[in-house]
Amino acid sequence: MGGKASILMVLGFSMIFLVFGYNYNNMTNRAIDNFIEYYTNTNSHNIAVAGANMAANEVFMNKSWDTGFTNLTINGGTLNVYVSNPLSGSGKVTICHVPPGNPTAKRVLVIPASAVAGHLAHGDHLGTCGADSVDYEKITIVSEGTYNGKTDVVEVELRPSTFSKFGYFADQWGAGYLVTGDTVSGPFHTNQTLRTLGSPVFMGKVTAKGLRAEGNKWGFGEANPQFNGGIDTPVNVPFNLDISNLEKAAIYSGRVFADNINNKAQDLRLVFNSDQTVDWSVKLTNKSTWTTPVNALLDTLAPNGVIWNKAGNLYVSGVVNGKYTIGTGEADYNSYGNVYIEDDVKYREPPILFLPNGKTAINPDVKDMLGIVADKQIVIKDNAANRNNVEIDASLFNYGRGSTPINPFGGITVENISSSSPNMGALKIYGGLIEKAAQTTGYTNGAGYNELIRYDARFMTQVPPSFPTTSEYEIVSWYE
């Protein structure tokens, strides 16, 4: 029995070692396979990321670049980059791009004809993706990195930086100062030197061409401005207004108002209603007779939310229900290009909540959003409705076309304002103010308005439809 037991024990251990060796070899092989797969996936991903960065850099240097890269050898692999850039003047083809392995993320791309074959080869098709349309403000980069037969895709979306992200933007700051007691809500920028006295407070990021802080003047003591969101200098943000983009958006799926019969300047009046309708009427500029108001459902009048008066002035008031950008162009003469606020312009719900501790917060119930664009300037109408406070819920853009360094205008102002005007209460702007140069809305003797501006922080991530943008692009989406 002892001999047989010994033989069985030896056979048993032999079997155990054989099984263990087999499993060990399998584990080793799987580990090698896993390492090879990981190495392959990592290399293909890194190639795709490198391509996305290379293409983004090209776009930052040249806004109309759409050449992409074809079969470029990188780190032992191959890179192909396709660029959808509607700003390019070269021949374009519209396709529906279906990302490999992620068909639910399909999107419309506008690409060079030379890139079409490559897209069709991996499942894309010509035309749009159903109801989707071409977005003429978006540049999309599709970077495909291939290594050892494995392809990885990185998609990057770039858009122009929008002016609505500023709580206060003054292209020309002039010789004025912000002083002790002044508080600026939201991001602030000026393309000139920012002058401060004492201890004004800036709640958001401050950028400016330069900074000049002074003390012991006018009794404000030492200069100690409070930059709670940080400050960068020197920074220049080109101030421009591309009317063609606004008009293009209004033509595409919004509404353009113009006197196409006599080709004369025409004023437009919009009175917003809380039921998502608007009462609109028109008249020739500098005439007094308006047409009979027409009540229209805004979803039908301007499905994309853009209403543009091609040449003349715009008069606006009412309660906004929805997301819109409205404006007027052509400031060639003094009577053109103004937006007149005839009464309060409010959202259905207050955008800013004033908390018991003295702080403010965004009202989470607010869904409405408005952008107001004036080719020249925004003017508070001198009428009975505006003699006891005015509230404007919007991001206000005043371009100031026609202004000069000697006579700058293009900011919000008050019709017929003077030091002998009556006290008209508070001018409350809940949104943001973007202007060529600051204008007078009140005087230290109490004439006119006391100005109160509170930034609507939703504008950091949300934009009124087709609101004016800067000439600089920024990355808003990076999908790996």
pLDDT of residue 91: 66
**Cβ density class 419-444: b for 16+ within 10 Å, e for less:** eebeebeebbbbbbbbbbbbbbbbee
Q: Considering the entire predicted model, what is its pTM?
A: 0.76
pLDDT of residue 26: 61
3-state class (DSSP) for residue 419: coil
Find the mean pLDDT for residues 225-243. 90
Q: Which residues make Cβ contacts (< 8 Å) with residue 39, sequence separation at least 6?
A: none
pLDDT of residue 10: 61
Residue 310 has pLDDT above 80, yes or no: yes
303 prior amide bond cis, ω within 30: no
Q: Which has the higher per-residue pLDDT, 89 or 93? A: 93
Find the mean pLDDT for residues 335-345. 93
Can you read off the two tokens belonging to residue 72? 């470029």
pLDDT of residue 343: 97
Find the mean pLDDT for residues 160-165. 89
pLDDT band at 145 (very low <50, low <70, confident <90, very high): very high
Q: Which residues make Cβ contacts (< 8 Å) with residue 242, sequence separation at least 6?
A: 468, 469
Give the CA distances from residue 394 to residues 52, 353, 424, in Å, rounded to whole numbers and listed in that order: 36, 15, 21
pLDDT of residue 397: 96
pLDDT tens profile 367-398 = 999 999 999 999 999 999 999 999 999 999 99
pLDDT band at 277 (very low <50, low <70, confident <90, very high): very high
pLDDT band at 94 (very low <50, low <70, confident <90, very high): confident
Find the mean pLDDT for residues 186-192. 93
Residue 1 has pLDDT above 60, yes or no: no
pLDDT tens profile 98-132 = 876 667 767 777 777 777 887 787 788 887 787 66
Q: Which residues make Cβ contacts (< 8 Å) with residue 343, sequence separation at least 6?
A: 317, 318, 385, 386, 390
Q: Which has the higher per-residue pLDDT, 286 or 156? A: 156
Q: CA-CA distance, 126 to 95, in Å (whole number)? A: 4
pLDDT of residue 241: 86
Q: Residue 413 corresponds to which amino acid? A: T
pLDDT tens profile 390-417 = 999 999 999 998 887 777 788 899 999 9
pLDDT of residue 110: 77
pLDDT of residue 478: 87
pLDDT of residue 182: 84
DSSP 8-class letter at 164: G
pLDDT band at 184 (very low <50, low <70, confident <90, very high): confident
Residue 71 has pLDDT above 80, yes or no: yes
Residue 466 has pLDDT above 80, yes or no: yes
Residue 295 has pLDDT above 80, yes or no: yes
pLDDT of residue 175: 73
Of 149-158, 199-208, 272-281, where does the model show the most confidence? 272-281
The mean of the pLDDT values for the chain is 86
Find the mean pLDDT for residues 468-476. 83
3-state class (DSSP) for residue 107: strand
